[in-house]
Amino acid sequence: METVIQKNEHFEIEIIDMGEGGEGIGKINDFTLFIPGGLIGDLVEVRIVKVKKSYGYGKMIKLIKPSPFRQEVSCELGGKCGGCQLQHMNYKAQLEWKQKKVENCLKRIGKLENIVVEPTLGMEEPYRYRNKAQYPIRKEDGKVVMGFFAPRSHRLVPLSDCAIQHVDNARIMEIVRKFLQDNDISIYNEETHKGLVRHLVIKTGYHAEEIMVCLVINGKKLPHSEKLVKALQEIPQICSIILNHHVEKNNVILGDSCTVLSGKPNIIDSIGTLKFNISPLAFFQVNPLQTEVLYQKALEYAELTGKEIVWDAYCGIGTISLFLAQKAKKVYGVEIVPQAIENAKENAKLNGISNTEFFAGKAEEVIPDLYKKGVIADTIVVDPPRKGCETKLLETLKAMAPQKIVYVSCDPATLARDLAYLTNEAGYQVEKVQPVDMFPHTTHVETVVLLSKGEIDSKKVRVEFSLEDMDMSGFQKGATYEQIKAYVLEHSGLKVSSLYISQIKRKCGLDVGQNYNLSKKENAKVPKCPPEKEAAIMEALKHFQMT
């Protein structure tokens, strides 16, 4: 029988789960109720505030019996900003909840049963972990304020400190705030698109103890900037002071161009033994300690021996690629943002790593294109954004059939969807699932998954290729002799020599290398390519779009 629930009714209810945004979830028979502020295990009194067909929202009126997982909130904002949704839950319970969240997604969305999800790898000290803060700046009643936005709004919640940010940020905020106030610098207004100063962005090198302070302005110049530089020199770790110019009317935080006010244009930080150049615009993982845990897991799952050709799809500034390159023969990274690819190349140089190559483009276009050219990888790592992998990329993974796929995911729902495809359609087995807590006190969870093919498919012959051999500019037509041989072997089971390939290429009017020219001797006996091999080579040339 359907339960009839009405607005303003009161209920006593136990919170049995939590939703995406950390809101408590309870049930009144088959009716689902979302209760902001409720925690699994709480017994609460709620007033119904909104009723839909099969679900509704309740306001917590009284906490009748607190959950055993509740803890004191230590942050001054205490859930008023949109940042941390789980800080009223003790850390051990947060980690268990994240493990369950991954498990549930795999079951509910992926229909994947009997998969062991490892306990979430958490932090020893889950506070002050972030290396990047972005504070909007506003003027309220003549006073300059900065802080965070309230959940799902652009209402500013002022703050002086935040429990997950670097300790120095509070001091930096106060110096900047005082400078703006004392010098009467105009502050940006979102509605009118007038005013100069929009955001304060602070980036901190965790290991290197270098700090970048970046002021985002709606214009070219900051009046009295020398006073700001002088005031910030009070903190010796600040080695880069930047103006970012953002004159567009949108919600994006940073504009495209920067000017250095003082110090270096970038700061440097390290993950493990690798160093990374961090520019104001580049993406860099925000929790450096856990990033190392995550990458070590990906590396452990990849089980590299030094012989492998590895692809890192969605490589960002090449962080995972460089980690893998230390143990692989060659790593190719693909990333959609061209500046990130430039950073990746610089980072490879910075670390003296020469067995990586990076491509700017969509993973779902670059990798299928290269596969058509005969490229096969031993291991592929994917680390897509929240929406997961595009179908076209998954189809190419299926066709290419690397022995191992390491899937690094920031959204268990799209992870579950993609794993369903890779297991049901592409013949992979989920071997290991490891959640890692990159964002303590939030509902986010990162997961590393190892998928493998099981037995080696003996028909698949790994193509020993080098992209340097191929003309990669615009993915022009062409394939090496080795690739043609591998293709022929894989598709017809026939072994063909370079000589035969050259004969058929010549027959098709294609250029052949000088080593494959006809013998100079008039009467030299040159073996002639038999018809079945000719047909197989022709097919390969067609496949590589050479004819």
Residues annotated within the binding site for S-adenosyl-L-methionine are 285, 314, 335, 383
DSSP state of 299: H
- Considering beta carbons, is residue 46 or 389 the nearer one to ligand SAH? 389
Mind spelling out the 3-state secondary structure of 256-277?
CEEEEEEECCCEEEEECCEEEE
Where along the sequence are the contacts to ligand SAH (CB under 6 A)? 283, 285, 314-316, 319-320, 334-337, 340, 362-364, 383, 385
From residue 62, alpha-carbon distances to 46, 228, 426 in Å are: 7, 48, 51
Question: Between the CA of residue 252 and those of 25, 136, 176, 247, 469, what are the distances in Å?
Answer: 32, 11, 21, 11, 41
- DSSP letter, residue 205: -
Q: How far is the CB of 386 from ligand SAH (least distance, A)?
A: 9
Nearer to ligand SAH, 337 or 401 (CB): 337
Distance in Å, CB of 359 to ligand SAH, minimum = 9
Closest distance between ligand SAH and the C-beta of residue 20, in Å? 19
Give helix 412-424 / helix 391-400 axis angle, nearest 10°: 40
All residues at 6 or more sequence positions from 194 whose CB lies less than 8 Å from its CB, including other chains: 186, 188, 218
Residues in the chain: 547
| Closer Cβ to ligand SAH, 159 or 389, answer by number | 389
Put residue 216 in one of left, alpha, beta given phi > 0 → left and psi -120 to 50 → alpha. beta
> What is the CB neighbour count within 10 angstroms for residue 100?
16
Active site residues: 410
Q: Is 118 exposed, middle or buried (0-12, 13-18, 19+ CB in 10 A)?
A: middle
Nearest approach, Cβ of 215 to ligand SAH (angstroms)?
Answer: 25
Rounded to the nearest whole angstrom, what is the least distance from the CB of residue 450 to ligand SAH in the complex? 17
**227 SS3 class:** helix
Shortest distance in whole angstroms from residue 91 CB to ligand SAH: 24
| CA nearest to 207, candidates 141, 262, 275 | 275
Q: Which is nearer to ligand SAH, 385 or 530 (CB)?
A: 385
Q: Which is nearer to ligand SAH, 283 or 371 (CB)?
A: 283
Any idea what DSSP says for residue 514?
G
C-beta of 176 vs 315, nearer to ligand SAH: 315
Distance, CA of 447 to CA of 244 (rounded, Å): 34
